[in-house]
Structure 1
Amino acid sequence: MTSQFKGLIFDLGGVLLDWDPKGVTMLSSSHLRLIMHSTVWHELDRSNISLDQACEQFSGIIDVEASVIKESLNQAQDTLAPNTQMTRMLGDLKTLNPDLQLYVMSNISQEHFEVVKNLNIPWSLFNRTFVSGHAGMRKPDLCFFKHVIEEIGCHPNELIMVDDQAGNICAARSLGIHGLLMPEKALTSIVCQELRNLVQSAIPRAEAYLKANSGQHHCVVEGHDVILKDNFAQLLIWEITRDADIIYLNHVNGHVKGHMNGHMNGHMSGHSIKRKTTLHNNVKNGLWSYFYDEPILTTKEFPADADTTSTAYLALPESYLSEVADVHLVLDKMASNRDAEGIMQTYFCDDRPRTSPEVCVNILRAFYRFGRGGDPRIRKTEEWVVQCLENRACLYGNRVYSTPETFLYFTARLYAECGEGVLKERLHSVKEALYERINTPTNPLSLALRVSSCQIVALEPVLYQQDLKRLTSLQEQDGGFPAGHFCCIGRTGARIGNRGLTTALAVKILRHEEGLRV
């Protein structure tokens, strides 16, 4: 998505410059606040009075000698120092986008500005500086903002302003300028990230991240300093991107080779990427296991599961299917692996009798994908999935999935893929369930699953725009998105996330939004 913004406006004090109140030894902090929030200070900002005149009037306000006040203000100026993190970020943005216009807009008297001009700020980066002492106007006066907008020559919605005062941001936003509040230095990194995401195109950066980390999109486990290499997230990324180059896969024994044209819906690169992808596959029964390497944070022996197996056959391009086990034999094995209630189970073993709504949804997706929606053995599973949806059974996740969005995402896929019929009608309430979740605080990966689900079931875009904005604001400096979490280790509840999966979903989401705007 191309940025609409052409210009950035920055305050000096509290944004580009920091100062230390502790450096003022001759006045109390309460006295400083009194004079800096007085109308006399406002007149000084506008240069309607001189610094000496202002100090005389300050003396009457706080009953302190004018000379002491002036010296205290000098002490405050001596503590001024550039916010190097912010100025470095500006240099990076200007390098990446030379056409980006940078401005300063500050409440500062002419006398004080003469001092500030000599500080180590990269003034050459700025197209122009607007100082209240020169303009005779100050923030939050609307006339000052209108003056700056007119001088810059951009539409207000093409401008971003960063300021440390909420009142100034309010005034800017009232005129259509996009305002960002930076109330303290500790939040500089957050503001810098948001600025980058507002002025840099998100999709190329995210795609570059996926490519740069090809074969390294490992899962992370909260509370554990381990690298979890799995098949499941890799298959999900493959299904979303259609790019074999960025993932890895492994299975129990044996191997099959194949190749594909790997590029994200034609957008991952300017040309097709061909390479041999090796799938280590249990040729005997075509079943897949969650782990890529030896199991970690669980038992030493870990069985194949219906979730990873279903996802494998959903993700594999058609050209691969002839080189792995017969999918219909695999579906038959799933259909016969049912519990006493007739619901298809997660693991292909006798000592882990588990059922999971999310897994059942993915099994059903596989049955419908390969024309087996009429199999009578899946009816009990269908019934249970519908009940879980209607009764919001997964509101808190469950044993192996950490958020309700995972169930809703897989269900949205089933709703879109199962064709017209009874099941689709019964799954229609997934739209209502998603609507209930919109704007609910959650982690980044869960948020991406939610927004993608809204798009899949064709909810009105206006409904999920706040969630979409929240997601795009999370893009990190390297172009990737945070790992978040979507599933968990059953025995401990430790939550699992994957930056590659969040990023792949974000790219697909943003591509979809671009398509809506065409």
Structure 2
Amino acid sequence: MAPCRPNELDIGNLICTKFKNLIVDVGGVLLQPNLDLNYGTAISPHQFKRTLGSNTWFRYQTGELSSDEAFAQLSKQIGCSPWDLREFCRRAREALVPVPEIVRLIERLDLKLFCMTNVPAEEFESIQHTFQSVFSRFHKIFTSSATGMRKPNLNFFKHVLAESGIEPSETVFLDDDLANVTAAESMGITGILVPSLRDSNSAVLAQTVNQLVSTLRTREEQLSVAREYLLATKGVYRSLALTHEGLRIPVLFDHFIIAELLQDEKFLPIESAPERGTINFFPRTERSKRKGYSESQSAFTHINLPDDADTTSIGLSSLYKFSKVQMSVIDSVLDRIERELVNEDGQFQVYFDPQRPRVDSVCIINTLYLFHLAGRGGSVTRPSEEFILNLLQHRGYRRGTVYYNSPEVFLVQLARYGNLKTWIGNEALTTAFAVAAIEAHQQAVAL
């Protein structure tokens, strides 16, 4: 199954085990009306829309009033002739068109399909005849005129559930009216609100369909799709750092974390440590030779930052976990950190450059991690450890750090699998955190 992207539809080969039933509305969901035209009649769209919210129209929808009675009363309310109102309804009905995204969806879902709609009998008889191929796909059709009830009346939902013999927990409801969706969810049905088709573009509708598809998937299917998405995008540097000049520059940092979270070396941005052992925050052609990875040279041609202890520590620790670097290489880098990057307070600095004396607490956390991975915690790490502990105790991280403006980054790097609500500017990283968290939870439950 191809990864689901924000503005694309993913409706093929969907297997659903959690949900077994889908209830679909007609107007505004399955069929698209256009009530912004007067259709050559004396009635304005504004006048007609007034009738749709009236109690008279509601009584017409439930069969309490005949069409003659309804049009006679409604025409008096809006100041037109019954013939004009009936003609407007006829022409609006003839202008209905199927919503292709929804029609394709119900064609390919392996679910029991039900239709539930507020519609007068005369209107629905004509609509059903015109769109026979669409309505023939439904297992059962429930109309307000046939049942004497209309949405959002809870009795209507109870009737549909009872007559269909379906369970609310196994059912999804698709409607364009928030009141109807809310009523369905109060019954234990999973509701999805469709945006106004008149005001929405295809991308917005696609997102709604994808939301439905995502809802229907089991947890295992969602994990599979998430992993496929990550694999499909692993060759693109989606992590972007914003410079003081306003440039968005691709970076390596997050890709190491993704590989570590998913325990999959395919996500590593480099296959081995550079000969010098240290790694740069920004990808360079000579540093990112892993097949499939790409970068935009023009985005950072004037950036010339030295290698840093932050990316080096994250990168080497990730590479080590996949047996891509020897501990001897790590030790040589740690030796250099001890010689060059310890300031007068005993804290680890960021850059392998004496002309850039910078301190960042997240960088210190990651550098400490590498020291302890190598079993080299001790006097050289103690000042930095005390600094981090003091920040924790006094919540000195709550405004972010020099290079990371989110306080969550401090906590995440401290725990490596910490607060999963973090955002570091990379949608793939967020997905990786979610996959790792869900799988870890499943393993814990299994134990």
TM-score with structure 1 setting the length: 0.71
Kindly tell me: are residues 120 and 398 of structure 1, through their superposed partners in 2, closer, same or farther at Cα, counting changes over 3 Å?
Answer: farther
Partner of 1:81: 97
Partner of 1:105: 116
Kindly tell me: are residues 390 and 297 of structure 1, through their superposed partners in 2, closer, same or farther at Cα, counting changes over 3 Å?
Answer: farther
- In the alignment, structure 2 segments of 5+ residues that lack a partner are 1-14, 286-296
Partner of 1:176: 188
Residue 72 of structure 1 pairs with residue 88 of structure 2? yes
SS in 2 for 1:316: helix
Residue 310 of structure 1 pairs with residue 298 of structure 2? no
Amino acid in the other structure paired with 2:272:
L
Residue 292 of structure 1 pairs with residue 303 of structure 2? no
Question: What are the equivalent positions in structure 2 for 1:377-416 lying under 5 Å apart?
Answer: 377-413=380-416
2:334 aligned residue (328, 331, 335)? 331
Kindly tell me: are residues 209 and 140 of structure 1, through their superposed partners in 2, closer, same or farther at Cα, counting changes over 3 Å?
Answer: same
Partner of 2:362: 358
Kindly tell me: are residues 288 and 123 of structure 1, through their superposed partners in 2, closer, same or farther at Cα, counting changes over 3 Å?
Answer: same
Alpha-carbon offset, residue 290 of structure 1: 1.9
2:350, 2:363 within 8 Å by CA — same for their partners in 1? yes
1:163, 1:182 within 8 Å by CA — same for their partners in 2? yes
1:27 aligned residue (43, 65, 86)? 43
Amino acid in the other structure paired with 2:211:
E
- d(CA) in 2 for partners of 1:308 and 1:221? 13
Kindly tell me: are residues 140 and 505 of structure 1, through their superposed partners in 2, closer, same or farther at Cα, counting changes over 3 Å?
Answer: same
2:241, 2:251 within 8 Å by CA — same for their partners in 1? no
Residue 344 of structure 1 pairs with residue 272 of structure 2? no
Residue 204 of structure 1 pairs with residue 208 of structure 2? no
Range that drifts further, 359-368 or 71-80: 71-80
Alpha-carbon offset, residue 362 of structure 1: 0.9
Question: What are the equivalent positions in structure 2 for 1:221-240 lying under 5 Å apart?
Answer: 230-240=251-261
2:309, 2:352 within 8 Å by CA — same for their partners in 1? yes
SS in 1 for 2:323: helix
Kindly tell me: are residues 175 and 389 of structure 1, through their superposed partners in 2, closer, same or farther at Cα, counting changes over 3 Å?
Answer: same
Kindly tell me: are residues 108 and 318 of structure 1, through their superposed partners in 2, closer, same or farther at Cα, counting changes over 3 Å?
Answer: closer
SS in 2 for 1:26: coil
SS in 1 for 2:114: strand
SS in 1 for 2:213: helix
- d(CA) in 1 for partners of 2:356 and 2:252? 20
Alpha-carbon offset, residue 210 of structure 1: 2.8
Alpha-carbon offset, residue 225 of structure 1: 12
Amino acid in the other structure paired with 1:156:
P
Amino acid in the other structure paired with 1:244:
E
SS in 2 for 1:104: strand
- In the alignment, structure 1 segments of 5+ residues that lack a partner are 250-277, 417-429, 435-448, 452-484, 487-496
- Offset from partner CA, 1:331-374 (integer Å, 9 cap, x none): 2332341223321111111122111111111112222222223x
Partner of 1:140: 152
Residue 191 of structure 1 pairs with residue 215 of structure 2? no
Partner of 1:54: 70
Question: What are the equivalent positions in structure 2 for 1:437-448 lying under 5 Å apart?
Answer: none
Partner of 1:254: none
Residue 281 of structure 1 pairs with residue 274 of structure 2? yes
Alpha-carbon offset, residue 205 of structure 1: 0.8
- d(CA) in 2 for partners of 1:91 and 1:48? 34
Kindly tell me: are residues 91 and 290 of structure 1, through their superposed partners in 2, closer, same or farther at Cα, counting changes over 3 Å?
Answer: farther
- d(CA) in 1 for partners of 2:230 and 2:144? 46
- d(CA) in 2 for partners of 1:236 and 1:281? 18
- d(CA) in 1 for partners of 2:386 and 2:441? 34
Partner of 2:7: none
Kindly tell me: are residues 287 and 325 of structure 1, through their superposed partners in 2, closer, same or farther at Cα, counting changes over 3 Å?
Answer: farther
1:281, 1:324 within 8 Å by CA — same for their partners in 2? no
Amino acid in the other structure paired with 2:252:
N
1:347, 1:354 within 8 Å by CA — same for their partners in 2? yes
SS in 1 for 2:174: strand
1:23, 1:79 within 8 Å by CA — same for their partners in 2? no
